[in-house]
Amino acid sequence: MRYVKRKNRFFSSSALLFMLVASAVSTLSAGCSGDGGAGGESEKTKTLMGTFARIVAYAWTDEQAAGAIEKAFNEVETVEQMMSEHLPESDVSRINAAKEKVWIQVDPLTSAVLSEVNWAWKTSDGAFDPTIRPLLKMWRGAAKAGRMPTRKELAQTLNKVGWKNIEINAEKSQVRKPRAGTELDLGAIAKGYAIDAAIEALRSSGCSAGLVDIGGDVGCFGSPPGRNEWVIGVQNPFGEGLVGRLNVSGEAICTSGDYRRFVEIKGRKYSHIVDPRTGLPVAGSPSVTVIAPLAVRADALATALSVLGPKEGIKLIESMPEVEAMMIEGPPEEPKVHKSSGFDKYVIELDVLR
Ligand code: ADP
Ligand code: MG
């Protein structure tokens, strides 16, 4: 089965670079055994976090699998409630609307995501920074007006950006902004966190295998009956179809760097990923695939690599033992593929030039 990302309304993100193919349907029809005797299965898709969320589960009975899926969806819904910048009552919206120096009480879950943000920001040397929201708004405004932002606008907006403008008291789950104007957009990490939470719900409900796909970012564990791993298809970033298939289990695989999601000014396309250091949308951004033990990290790193580019990006991934990445750079007639040294162990087939 094939799933294409839809436009992401809530988190204004959607890589759409990859079409992810889980092998659930084909392996089910194969009807093989070999998965610890678990014969129950269930699958459901909902619209959540501004995109599709699809969950597949295997358990002893169909009912058990279906119940686990409901629990997993609840987790995704909770993350959405906390982290959507479009729901006025969400933690993120309350932080964005807050006055300077006022401590805002947030859910421990939001606090946990912010500590992951902190990790990603540090690890990427500031390339990952969710305080870019004012920049995204500026670029959207410029596109609407059909002109480039002025130097002054860019400088003023950049002035509001910087993770250092968010203070966190992790013990008390409180957040404050030393200066007014700082705003968060967790679109590059919230889906990853939601995937991990949903996977945990499937596991703790006793499922033998499961897959959670939110807008094309995927977490999975175990394997469908008759298989050793899940098969994930990599979409051709330059056109239709797949460029490859990967074997993944017990890990998450997230994508980023979409040039089908952009704003257009005077006929030129500008990415929805911006460099927090310059305020400019990343240019010629290659497609990025990151595989990591946790989706929250794979998601954040995929966005960070879009900003860092292949050279620095792959170097960063090489420093992380359990993380692998692949970046596909244009032009389409002559694509360049950059892979971390362990990436090939996931590859079933890969042909970027097809
Ligand atoms: P997708 O959500 O489509 O899979 P990403 O995970 O790369 O794509 O997230 C892109 C989103 O991340 C953007 O729409 C924006 O909300 C946010 N973002 C853009 N630039 C940055 C950045 N430098 N650091 C953190 N978040 C960013
Ligand atoms: Mg991301």
Can you give the three-state secondary structure of 149-187, one letter per residue?
CCHHHHHHHHCCCCHHHCEEECCCCEEECCCCCCCCCCC
Measure Cα distances from 167 to 105, 107, 129, 175, 248 in Å. 12, 15, 14, 6, 37
User: Is 316:306 a contact under the CB 8 Å cutoff?
Assistant: no
Q: What pLDDT is stored for residue 258 in this prediction?
A: 66
Closest CA to 218 of 294, 285, 320: 294
Is the model's pLDDT at 3 over the cut of 50? Answer: no
Task: Kindly give the residue spans of alpha helices, DSSP state H, lying in the chain.
Answer: 24-30, 62-83, 91-97, 108-123, 133-145, 151-158, 190-204, 295-318
Residue of 273, 296, 305, 312 to test ligand 1 pocket, by largest number of atoms within 8 Å of CB: 273
pLDDT: is 227 or 10 the higher one? Answer: 227
pLDDT: is 32 or 277 the higher one? Answer: 277
- For ligand 1, whether the C-beta of 49 sits within 6 Å is no
Is the model's pLDDT at 188 over the cut of 90? Answer: yes
Residue of 133, 303, 312 to test ligand 1 pocket, by largest number of atoms within 8 Å of CB: 303
Closest CA to 300 of 246, 232, 252, 230: 252
State the average pLDDT for the chain: 88
Average pLDDT over residues 16-29: 30
Average pLDDT over residues 180-188: 96
Q: 187 CA to middle of ligand 2, Å?
A: 7
Q: 272 CA to middle of ligand 1, Å?
A: 7
Edge-to-edge order in the sheet of strand 104-105: 104-105, 174-176, 167-169
Counting from 1 in the atom list of ligand 1, the atom nearest the Cα of 215 is 4
User: Is 249:220 a contact under the CB 8 Å cutoff?
Assistant: yes
Task: Pick the range with the lowest mean pLDDT from 216-230, 253-267, 284-298, 316-330.
Answer: 253-267
pLDDT in tens, 305-325: 999 999 999 999 999 999 999
Confidence of residue 354 (pLDDT cuts 50, 70, 90): low
Dig out the tokens for 2 from the structure.
Answer: 């094939």
pLDDT in tens, 239-282: 888 889 999 999 999 999 766 678 889 988 889 999 999 999 99
Residues linked to residue 347 through DSSP beta bridges, in sequence order: 246
Q: Of all protein residues, whose CA lies closest to atom 9 belonging to ligand 1?
A: 188
- Sequence-distant (6+) residues with CB within 8 A of 107 are 82, 91, 173
- For ligand 1, whether the C-beta of 213 sits within 6 Å is no
Average pLDDT over residues 153-172: 97
Task: Delineate the domains of the chain, giving CATH numbers in brackets.
Answer: 17-80+189-350 (3.10.520.10), 91-176 (1.10.3980.10)
Percent of the chain with pLDDT over 70: 88
Residue with tokens 């993350």: 79
Is the whole-model pTM more than 0.75?
A: yes
- For ligand 1, whether the C-beta of 220 sits within 6 Å is no
Looking at residue 98, what DSSP letter applies? P
Q: What pLDDT is stored for residue 240 in this prediction?
A: 82
Q: Of all protein residues, whose CA lies closest to atom 12 belonging to ligand 1?
A: 188
How many residues are listed for the chain in this entry?
Answer: 354
Q: 64 CA to middle of ligand 2, Å?
A: 31
Q: 64 CA to middle of ligand 1, Å?
A: 35
Q: What pLDDT is stored for residue 237 in this prediction?
A: 85
pLDDT in tens, 107-152: 999 999 999 999 999 999 999 999 999 999 999 999 999 999 999 9
Measure Cα distances from 251 to 59, 113, 312, 318, 322 in Å. 19, 19, 23, 17, 10
Q: 250 CA to middle of ligand 2, Å?
A: 19
Dig out the tokens for 170 from the structure.
Answer: 């992790």
Confidence of residue 102 (pLDDT cuts 50, 70, 90): very high
The bound ligand whose nearest atom lies closest to the alpha carbon of 8 is 1
Residue with tokens 């819904």: 77
Q: What pLDDT is stored for residue 280 in this prediction?
A: 96
Q: 29 CA to middle of ligand 2, Å?
A: 33
Instruction: Specify the amino acid at residue 161.
Output: V
Q: What pLDDT is stored for residue 297 in this prediction?
A: 98
Measure Cα distances from 93 to 82, 165, 168, 183, 186 in Å. 9, 16, 16, 9, 11
Q: Of all protein residues, whose CA lies closest to atom 19 belonging to ligand 1?
A: 273
Q: Of all protein residues, whose CA lies closest to atom 2 belonging to ligand 1?
A: 13
Instruction: Specify the amino acid at residue 22.
Output: A
